A and B are shown apart, each in its own frame.
Chain A
C-alpha cells in the first residue's frame, strides 16, 4: 500500500508544533476561547492570530510560491488544519482554503494581484453569499439580480445564512446575470468590499449561539473588474469553491471526543471496571474508530489534491461522515453523562465544560451546511458509483 505521510511531512508537523507552542500564550488562549464560542467567524482575537500566522509564513503552506505560499502539497495543508483544529484555533477557513485557490484558477491577473497577497497575509476575509430565502439546495434558482450599467453592475436582492458577514472585509456572492430559466448558466460571481454602499447586514442568532446573517443588497454598484470569471459562467467557480470547501472536515470530532473522555476520566469511567464504565468504553471505542476513519477520509482527500486529482464523491463521503460523527459524539456523549448533561454551557457545573450540549445545539448545520448530506449522497451515487442521474 502506498504511504502518505513520510518523514518530510512529519518534520513539517514537528516544526509547526514548535512554532505554535512558541506563540504568545495570551493571544492563543483568547483566540481559542473566541473560536470555541463561534468557530465560523474569526473576530478580534482570531483576526490577530491569523495575521500573526500570515506574517510568520504559516498561512497558505500549500499555495504556490508565486502567490507567496510555501509551495508544499495539500498534505501539509491538511496537517496544518488538523493541528489547528486540534487546538481549536482558526485556520483561515473558506477564504484561505477555498476562495484563494479558486481565484488562482479562475481569477484575472489583476484579481490575483489584488486579493491573493492579502488573503495569504490573513488580512482579507470573505463572507460567502450563495443561499437566498428561496434558493437553498436549489441554488440555481437564485434571484439576486445584477444588471450591467456601463463599467458596473447594479445588484439588488437578498442573501441569507451569510455567516461572517459582520466581520468579513469582503463579500463573495453569486448573482443572476442571465434569465431565471437559464438556471445555473445564468449565474455570475462577484467579490466586493463588505462596506460597499447599499449592503445592509442584519443578524440571525442560532440555537447554538452562533451568529449568522441576512444580507440585503439595495442598488449595490460593483465594477465589472470585480466579476470572477465570465458573465453567466460563475457556476464553475462556485462548484470549484464548494469542492475545496468540502475538504475541510477534519479534526473537530476528535476534539469533541476528547471533551467526552476528559469528563469520563474525571468521573473514573475511562479505565473503570463497572458496568457503567464498560458501557462508556464500548461507546467511546466506536467513536474512536470513526474518528480515525474521519482522519483517513481527510488524508485521502489531501493526497488526491496533492496528486493533482479533484475529490468529488470522496469529498462528499468525508463531509457526511464528519458531520454525522460530530453530532453523534455530542448526542451519545450526553447520554453517557445523564441528567447533568442538561446543565448549560457557562455554568461551572456543566459536564465537559458544556461543550457537548453546545455541540449538539450547533450540530444541525454540520449535516445540512456546505450542501446537504442528502445532496452529497446523490453526488456519491452519481460520481462515486456511476449511477445514471
Chain B
C-alpha cells in the first residue's frame, strides 16, 4: 500500500531526499555519528542546507524556496525514515514557528536559517516555564529546567513561551505568549549536555531567572491560539519524521519476515506473524493519513491546531507500536546495535516523548475536538 496523497512535486522531492540519504546512511554510519563528538557531520549538514531543506517552506524574501509546509513535511519524513540525527528537524521547526508568527520581525533570523544556520526551539510542551514582565519590554523567566534538542550545536535559539498572569491584549482574553531570539552562545553557560536515549543530542538548560532584554523579545502579546498554531505546524514536522520512521521499520520487517526461515518456511507465512504485520500497516496508515490531512489543512492563517495535534499523537503512538512489534518479529537480531532497528526503536519513544505528556496532549485534543468541535464536518 503506497501513499497516494502526495502531489507530483512532493513525490519528486521525496524521491530526491530518499536517494540522498540512501547514498550514505546505514547503521554503521548512524553508530559512527552517534559516537562522534558533534553527533552529526558538518559536511552533510551543509549539503542538506545547499539542497534548500532548512528554507524549503520559508518565504522567498528571506531566501527560502517559498514552498508549503507539506513539502517541509516530506523532507522531515525522509530524514525520519533514514533515522539520521542532525539539527535539521529542530531548525525546520524553529523556522516554521517564526514563519507562522510572521510579521516580518523575524526576517533576519529566517534568512540565516534559509542560508544554513542552525536553530534550536525552546517551547516545552508541559513545563510550567513562564516569562514574567519586568517593565520596559523586558521579561524574566521562571520555572524548572527544560530539555532542549540540539541546543549546544545551534547558532540561534528561538524561545516561544507563555507570559505569566495573562494579558488583556489577547483578542481571546486569554494568556499571551512571547517569542524571543537569543544567540545560542548566550545560553550555553546555563546548559548541560545530557545523554539522550536516541541518537539526537539534547541539553538540560536552566532558564530560571534569565532576563530577556526588550531587544531579545522579537514579539510579545502573541495570542495563545496563534502561538499554539505556530507550534502545531512545527509539530507536524516531527509527526512527519515519525511517519517516515514507521514506513522504514515496516518495510524492513516485511523483508525480514519474507527471508527468515524457521520450521521450514519464511516466518511471514505464519498467521501470527502476518497479523502482526497487518497491525503494523494499520498503525502506519493511521499515522500517515492523519499527518497528510493535517499538512493539507495547515495553510497559512488556518489557525486550526486540532488536526495537527491528532497527527502528532497518532504518529507517536504508531511509531512506538510499530517498533515494539518489529522488535518482536526480529527477535534477538533486532535488539543489537548492529541492526538499524535499534535506532528506530529508541527514536520512536524519544520523538513521542518530545511531544510531551500523553495525558496532557489527549486532554488538549479532547478540548479542541470534543468541546470546541474544531474543524468538524460533523
- Of A3, A261, A284, A289, most buried by chain B (CB within 10 Å of CB) is A289
Can you name the residue of chain B whose Cβ is closest to the Cβ of A283? Answer: B362
A286 close to B289 (CB less than 8 A)? no
Can you name the residue of chain A whose Cβ is closest to the Cβ of B266? Answer: A388
User: Taking A387-B268, A388-B269 as contacts, is the C-beta distance between A285 and B364 under 8 angstroms?
Assistant: yes
Q: Mark B340-377, 1 if CB is under 8 A from A, else 0.
A: 00000000000000000011011111110111000001
Among A251, A285, A380, contact of B363 (Cβ-Cβ < 8 Å): A285
Can you name the residue of chain B whose Cβ is closest to the Cβ of A316? Answer: B278
A320 close to B282 (CB less than 8 A)? yes
Query: Could you tell me the distance in whole angstroms from the C-beta of A130 to the nearest C-beta in chain B?
Result: 23
Q: Mark A61-90, 1 if CB is under 8 A from B, else 0.
A: 000000000000000000000110010000
A244 is an interface residue with CB less than 8 A from chain B: no
B274 close to A377 (CB less than 8 A)? yes
User: Taking A271-B371, A281-B363 as contacts, is the C-beta distance between A296 and B289 under 8 angstroms?
Assistant: yes
- Of A1, A281, A283, A378, most buried by chain B (CB within 10 Å of CB) is A1
Query: Could you tell me the distance in whole angstroms from the C-beta of B334 to the nearest C-beta in chain A?
Result: 18
B223 is an interface residue with CB less than 8 A from chain A: no
A292 close to B310 (CB less than 8 A)? yes
Chain B interface residue count, Cβ-Cβ cutoff 8 angstroms: 48
B310 close to A2 (CB less than 8 A)? no
**In chain A between 9 and 46, which residues have their CB closer than 8 angstroms to a CB of chain B?**
13
Q: Mark A353-389, 1 if CB is under 8 A from B, else 0.
A: 0000000000000000000001011101101111110
User: Taking A378-B271, A388-B258 as contacts, is the C-beta distance between A2 and B7 under 8 angstroms?
Assistant: yes
A148 is an interface residue with CB less than 8 A from chain B: no
B359 close to A278 (CB less than 8 A)? yes
B5 is an interface residue with CB less than 8 A from chain A: yes
User: Taking A288-B370, A317-B281 as contacts, is the C-beta distance between A384 and B1 under 8 angstroms?
Assistant: yes
A297 is an interface residue with CB less than 8 A from chain B: yes
Which residues of A have CB within 8 Å of B314?
289, 293
User: Taking A285-B362, A292-B290 as contacts, is the C-beta distance between A1 and B285 under 8 angstroms?
Assistant: no
Please, how many angstroms separate the alpha-carbon atoms of A321 and B307 in the complex?
18
A281 close to B277 (CB less than 8 A)? no
Among A83, A278, A317, A385, contact of B254 (Cβ-Cβ < 8 Å): A385
A1 close to B278 (CB less than 8 A)? no
Please, how many angstroms separate the alpha-carbon atoms of A275 and B378 in the complex?
29
B366 close to A1 (CB less than 8 A)? no
B70 close to A1 (CB less than 8 A)? yes
Which residues of B have CB within 8 Å of A183?
none
User: Taking A288-B370, A388-B268 as contacts, is the C-beta distance between A281 and B7 under 8 angstroms?
Assistant: no
Which residues of A have CB within 8 Å of B313?
286, 289
Which residues of B have CB within 8 Å of A94?
none
User: Taking A251-B378, A292-B307, A385-B1 as contacts, is the C-beta distance between A284 and B254 under 8 angstroms?
Assistant: no
Please, how many angstroms separate the alpha-carbon atoms of A114 and B74 in the complex?
51
A270 is an interface residue with CB less than 8 A from chain B: yes
Which residues of B have CB within 8 Å of A289?
290, 310, 313-314, 362, 365, 369
Which residues of B have CB within 8 Å of A317?
281-282, 285
Which residues of B have CB within 8 Å of A321?
282, 286
User: Taking A285-B370, A289-B310 as contacts, is the C-beta distance between A387 and B274 under 8 angstroms?
Assistant: yes
B295 close to A1 (CB less than 8 A)? yes
Can you name the residue of chain B whose Cβ is closest to the Cβ of A255? Answer: B378
A266 is an interface residue with CB less than 8 A from chain B: no
- Of A5, A296, A376, A381, most buried by chain B (CB within 10 Å of CB) is A381
Please, how many angstroms separate the alpha-carbon atoms of A82 and B377 in the complex?
10
A254 is an interface residue with CB less than 8 A from chain B: yes
A300 is an interface residue with CB less than 8 A from chain B: yes
Which residues of B have CB within 8 Å of A245?
none
Can you name the residue of chain A whose Cβ is closest to the Cβ of B294? Answer: A1
Can you name the residue of chain A whose Cβ is closest to the Cβ of B289? Answer: A296
Can you name the residue of chain B whose Cβ is closest to the Cβ of A324? Answer: B282
Query: Could you tell me the distance in whole angstroms from the C-beta of A319 to the nearest C-beta in chain B?
Result: 11
A314 is an interface residue with CB less than 8 A from chain B: yes
A173 is an interface residue with CB less than 8 A from chain B: no
Can you name the residue of chain A whose Cβ is closest to the Cβ of B360? Answer: A282
A1 close to B1 (CB less than 8 A)? no
**In chain A between 261 and 303, which residues have their CB closer than 8 angstroms to a CB of chain B?**
261, 270-271, 278, 281-286, 288-290, 292-293, 295-297, 300
B147 is an interface residue with CB less than 8 A from chain A: no
Query: Could you tell me the distance in whole angstroms from the C-beta of A341 to the nearest C-beta in chain B?
Result: 20
A119 is an interface residue with CB less than 8 A from chain B: no
Please, how many angstroms separate the alpha-carbon atoms of A241 and B269 in the complex?
28
Query: Could you tell me the distance in whole angstroms from the C-beta of A270 to the nearest C-beta in chain B?
Result: 6
Please, how many angstroms separate the alpha-carbon atoms of A49 and B299 in the complex?
40
Please, how many angstroms separate the alpha-carbon atoms of A292 and B278 in the complex?
21
User: Taking A1-B296, A321-B286 as contacts, is the C-beta distance between A286 and B281 under 8 angstroms?
Assistant: no
Please, how many angstroms separate the alpha-carbon atoms of A19 and B278 in the complex?
41
B293 is an interface residue with CB less than 8 A from chain A: yes
A281 close to B367 (CB less than 8 A)? yes
Please, how many angstroms separate the alpha-carbon atoms of A386 and B251 in the complex?
11
A293 close to B289 (CB less than 8 A)? yes
A387 close to B292 (CB less than 8 A)? no
B79 is an interface residue with CB less than 8 A from chain A: no
B275 close to A86 (CB less than 8 A)? no
B310 close to A380 (CB less than 8 A)? no
A374 close to B275 (CB less than 8 A)? yes
Closest 6 CB pairs of A and B: A285-B362, A285-B366, A377-B278, A380-B278, A381-B274, A1-B296
Known: A288-B369, A289-B313, A388-B258. 17 other contacts (CB 8 A): A1-B6, A1-B70, A2-B7, A3-B296, A282-B359, A283-B362, A285-B363, A285-B369, A286-B362, A292-B310, A293-B289, A320-B282, A376-B278, A380-B277, A386-B254, A387-B254, A387-B268
7 contacts between A and B (CB under 8 A): A13-B377, A86-B378, A282-B363, A286-B313, A380-B282, A387-B254, A387-B274
